[in-house]
Amino acid sequence: MNFSIVIIGRPNVGKSTLFNRLVGRQLALVDDLPGVTRDSREGEGHIADLAFRIVDTAGLEEATPESLPGRMRVQTERALAEADVALLVFDARAGITEADRHFARGLHKSAKPVIVVANKAESSAALADLGDGFRLGFGDPVPISARHGEGFAELYERLRPFAPTPADEDEPPAEAEPETPKPLQLAIVGRPNVGKSTLVNRLLGQDRLLTGPEPGLTRDSIATEWHWGDRDFRLVDTAGMRRRARVEERLEQLSVADTLRSIRFAGTVVLVLDALMPFERQDLTIANLVAEEGRAIVLAANKWDAVPDKGAALARLRDRMTASLPHLEGVALVPVSGLTGLGLDALMQAVVAADVVWNRRLSTSALNRWLAAIQERHPPPVVGARRLRLRYMTQVNTRPPTFALFSSKPGELPDSYRRYLVNALRKDFELPGTPIRMMLRKGDNPYAPDKN
């Protein structure tokens, strides 16, 4: 089993840059603005053959427990308690500050093994002042440059003693375990302050993510491994998405870009609505974005515990959903409460069902029997002097279900008839809620025998 490392330090010393360097890709948001990181973020890191679990944390600050910095501090302390070793990072160019010494005193009290890391030590001037790091009481600092990838050989040597000892070679090899399916990537999205992080915390059964009344609290997309029923999930909480015209600050632009990336890599997306203010324009914009990306989607009407007349409210929601999202006919709408836990089992059942539909494959013979019947029931329009004929249909992909439709004049088929085919396909083959892609192709049945 790999060991775990937590990265700790004051704001803007390069903790997230170091985290990204160790995991080998841009997972954590990085910006010159101090205090970008708020939630703890986990990843699988490595240096050469040394593999470990790495946790990036928020910059520690003295604050009252109920304040935002205080809640961030609690998360960092929890990550420290679960780690095998801590990397205390300071800025080699700025030298040791009182804040660095304060964090060092806290780490001494924790009795956790600590390695001091002097980041931004690419210049000769910074290297000359490294002796300051010794005064933190954890031995000589390791000079690195996370941005340029320098100094990691020495960090490797300092981390090596914490790696687990390999099993004796005389022991019989363990039997190979059957390969397990990959976790379902589940992204939780929505506009700011609809309760996404509260909902994720309730699903996980712990306060893994920061919550509070402050809009835009979540900045990074935070992924957490989770198990529900007989399925493994990779649960991703994302930053709230405001209307594009309102996004002006660079940091919010980075957060929104991170959310969009999470949607593209997701299998299923839960769009969280505020049940007290549902289906605002931005909700519909996000739903359409998820559909355009071809992801499976489930709608969660959060804060349901605060809705007064639940029966009438649910009826209004369903009517509005049918009118506003006709291209996602049959999409699941689940009333939930992240605060009380209401409806979470129903939500996850809907997520699993949506994933099944998203991965469904239809046989070519069944599709072409359906195509012949649908043309008899509602023939394609006449173009010029002749009626269009749809000759052949096959499914070319899943995730989402994607179909190729062959016709002699595909460019002449009206969009209205194409929508009719998609809706009929959704209804007749039970493909509720999932995006369906239909590509028009010119020609006869490509699998028919050559008449010549």
Q: What is the pLDDT of residue 383?
A: 76
Q: What is the pLDDT of residue 129?
A: 61
Quickly tell me which residue has 């009380």 as its tokens: 340
Q: Are 388 and 407 in contact (CB under 8 A)?
A: yes
pLDDT digits (tens, 9 = 90+) for 313-328: 999 999 999 999 998 9
**Per-residue pLDDT at 61 exceeds 60:** no
- Look up residue 435 and give its DSSP letter: -
Q: What is the pLDDT of residue 24?
A: 83
The rounded distance, in Å, linking the Cα atoms of 64 and 391 is: 70
The rounded distance, in Å, linking the Cα atoms of 39 and 21 is: 18
Q: What angle do CA 440, 267, 324 make, to 5 degrees?
A: 65
For residues 32-41, give the mean pLDDT: 52
The rounded distance, in Å, linking the Cα atoms of 251 and 15 is: 17
In the chain, count H helices and then E strands: 12, 17
**Per-residue pLDDT at 433 exceeds 80:** yes
Residue 243's pLDDT band (boundaries 50, 70, 90)? low
Considering Cα of 436, then 442, then 446, then 451, what sign does the dihedral take? positive
Mean pLDDT of the chain: 82
CATH number of 184-358: 3.40.50.300
Report the share of the chain in percent with pLDDT over 70: 79
Quick one: which of 189, 359, 159 has its CA closest to 269?
A: 189
Ramachandran sector of residue 422 (left: φ over 0; alpha: ψ -120 to 50; beta: rest): alpha
**Per-residue pLDDT at 258 exceeds 90:** no
6, β-bridge pairs: 55, 86
Report the share of the chain in percent with pLDDT over 90: 44
Domain with CATH 3.40.50.300 in the chain: 3-162, 184-358
Q: Name the CATH superfamily housing domain 364-442.
A: K homology (KH) domain (3.30.300.20)
pTM assigned to the model: 0.72
Q: What is the pLDDT of residue 5?
A: 93
Q: What is the pLDDT of residue 276?
A: 93
Quick one: which of 29, 21, 28, 11 has its CA closest to 73?
A: 11
Residue 249's pLDDT band (boundaries 50, 70, 90)? low
User: At 128, which amino acid appears?
Assistant: A
Domain 3-162 indexed as CATH 3.40.50.300: yes
The rounded distance, in Å, linking the Cα atoms of 434 and 350 is: 12
**Per-residue pLDDT at 31 exceeds 50:** no
Domain with CATH 3.30.300.20 in the chain: 364-442
Quick one: which of 147, 121, 145 has its CA closest to 132?
A: 121
Q: How far apart are the first and last CA of the chain?
A: 65
Q: What is the pLDDT of residue 32?
A: 44
- Look up residue 239 and give its DSSP letter: -
The rounded distance, in Å, linking the Cα atoms of 290 and 242 is: 15
Q: Are 166 and 174 in contact (CB under 8 A)?
A: no
**Per-residue pLDDT at 20 exceeds 50:** yes
DSSP string, 18-74: HHHHHHTS--S---SSTT---S-EEEEEEETTEEEEEEE-PPP----TTSHHHHHHH
Residue 36's pLDDT band (boundaries 50, 70, 90)? very low
CB atoms within 10 A of CB 312: 10
Ramachandran sector of residue 380 (left: φ over 0; alpha: ψ -120 to 50; beta: rest): beta
**Per-residue pLDDT at 446 exceeds 70:** no
Cα torsion 62, 68, 74, 75 to 10°: value is: -130
pLDDT digits (tens, 9 = 90+) for 72-90: 666 777 778 889 999 999 9
Helix (H), strand (E) at residue 157: helix 152-159
Q: Are 323 and 317 in contact (CB under 8 A)?
A: no
pLDDT digits (tens, 9 = 90+) for 119-149: 988 876 556 567 777 888 898 899 999 888 8
The rounded distance, in Å, linking the Cα atoms of 242 and 192 is: 7
Residue 365's pLDDT band (boundaries 50, 70, 90)? very high
The rounded distance, in Å, linking the Cα atoms of 15 and 64 is: 23
